Amino acid sequence: MADPTLSLAWLVLAHLVADFVLQTRSIVTDKFTLGWRGWRGLLAHGAAVALCLIPFAVAFEGPGVALLVVVAAGHVLIDRWKVRATRHAEAEALAAAHRRHEGPTTAGLGPAWTPLPGALFALDQLAHVILMFLAWAVLVAGRAPGGAFVAAVDRAIGTADRVAFHHGALVAVVLVALAIVNVRGAALFVATLVRPREAVTGTDLRDGEPAATATTGPRTWRVRLGGFVATAEPVAPPAPSVVPDPPSDRASPSQIGATIGVLERLLIVVLVMSGATAAIGFVVAAKTLARFRQLDDRDFAEYYLLGTLASVGVALASGVVAAAALATLR
């Protein structure tokens, strides 16, 4: 019978690779576009998920193939729901900012900021994990890998110790998953959460007075909310640099900040897994001390604190889960 911890860890790793490594910017842009192009992006992403689950189909044969189909199809449907929900949340925030007559801003969170895209990002990831766990529990749990797969693994291992090989495989899968979560996944989550939402203008159909249109990017759509038609750019997960930097001969502050965030999360993960959680406060304090004078600016303080709390939260949660998975080796 396959070890459940290794099987689940491999499932999570397959999901992370499909979502944060194989999913290109063009696929993300397509997913957040209306019509057939949106479905093209979703299906391309579903194919990447299926590709990452091929080892399960090979190892568990019929049940593994069923798991591949269920998870890949479910992934497409969950992503479709997130796209629609995120687009609606963005349009509502834009319409609310328009009704308040608030103009665009270039700093802070922006007048049309809403936490819903970040929350939907987290719910989307949770839904994928739950789907994978249920598919594993129903289709694969308690089953032994097929004889051909076991024979191939035995030939690859040769005379090596089976227990040591199993432990090494679990450690490798967990560490790679941790790296993807904290380098790519967390960066996109934080950027989605703190991204400024500019209050673009549209047409209020109740009074029939058109407003000026603000440029929001090369691809736009129109969303009807009550009597207001909002024009918004696709809300695909942005790159970690979310606030444009002014021209300068120095390195981009946003790129430096994103790199600091990655190092901060990796350090926190190491501290959590080594049991030195008390030192995490010093990591956060050192980062905050460097920005202490800027915290007098309320817009920056809100932007900075929100991003820091989200970043630290992801590092803590992933470190705790990884430590629990590796504790099964003792």
Residues 201-255 have pLDDT tens digits of 333 333 333 333 333 333 343 444 443 344 444 444 444 444 445 555 555 666 7
- The edge-to-edge listing of strands for the beta sheet with 228-232 is 209-210, 203-204, 228-232, 221-225
Residues 3-37 have pLDDT tens digits of 888 899 999 999 999 999 999 999 998 998 878 89
| Domain positions in the chain | 4-231+254-329
DSSP state of 144: P
Q: What is the pTM of this model?
A: 0.80
**Closest by CA position to 30, among listed 68, 74, 83, 77:** 83
Which positions ≥6 away from 49 have C-beta within 8 Å?
14, 15, 18, 71, 72, 75
